[in-house]
Amino acid sequence: MTGAAFKTAILTHVNRSGDTVLTAVIPTLCDLAVKELQKHGFWFQLTSTTVSTAAATKYAALPTGFVREVLNGFRTVGGTALDKRTWAEVDYWQRSSAGTGEPDYFAIADKFYFYPIPDAIYALPLQYYTALAFPGDSASNAWTDDVWDLTFYSVLELVWDYLGNQEEKAKAMAHKGKLLAQARALSGKHVSTGRVTYRDW
């Protein structure tokens, strides 16, 4: 389903096909719904890259669209999983100990922060969940194909809220909750964990 067809389906469902004001708002509501959903980390958001450090530099930039790393998905050049710590811990070590070498620990804030502080260029493998925007009017992607029903009810929840219909909003939220549980369970099967929960990252 293209982005345009999806938006039309929403307007038809709420019987507002001729509502020019709502039509203008729908794209924003679609974007907001997808931004909220992508935080869960679905199988179609999985990707990988390498993060390059620089000598004597305590941090490296997050990849474009970074949502969060996969459990044990950030590794040394040799393949050992980096140990994730709080930013406060890593910042303290960087300031107080200032050890150098290939990183064993990392933290995430506005960037990746490492300890020991890199003493050279290291290409560290990273597996992570990336942001995937709502598709353009003439295109489709996983939000309108793989999880169109979850996306539909997530947008519908926002539409009913915008229209001030709390009863219909509650119904949409209930449908969304069931579909979200199903999508997360399916994600768990795809990544061979059997489950996908917040504590995994």
Which pLDDT belongs to residue 15? 95
Query: Which residue range(s) make up the domain with 96?
Result: 45-130
Whether residues 96 and 152 fall in one domain: no
Whether residues 55 and 103 fall in one domain: yes
DSSP notation for the chain: --HHHHHHHHHHHTT-TT-HHHHHHHHHHHHHHHHHHGGG--GGGEEEEEEE--TT-SEEPPPTTEEEEEEEEEB-TTSPBPEE--HHHHHHHHHHT--BSS-SEEEESSSEEEESBPSS--EEEEEEEE--PPPPTT---TTTTTTHHHHHHHHHHHHHHHHT-HHHHHHHHHHHHHHHHHHHHHHHHHTTSS---GGG-
Whether residues 182 and 107 fall in one domain: no
Give a yes or no: residue 125 inside a domain: yes
Q: What is the pLDDT along the chain (201 residues), one digit of tens a residue?
A: 999 999 999 999 999 999 999 999 999 999 999 999 999 999 999 999 999 999 999 999 999 999 999 999 999 999 999 999 999 999 999 999 989 999 999 999 999 999 999 999 999 999 999 999 999 999 999 999 999 999 999 999 999 999 999 999 999 999 999 999 999 998 877 766 544 444 444
Among 108, 130, 152, where does a domain finish? 130
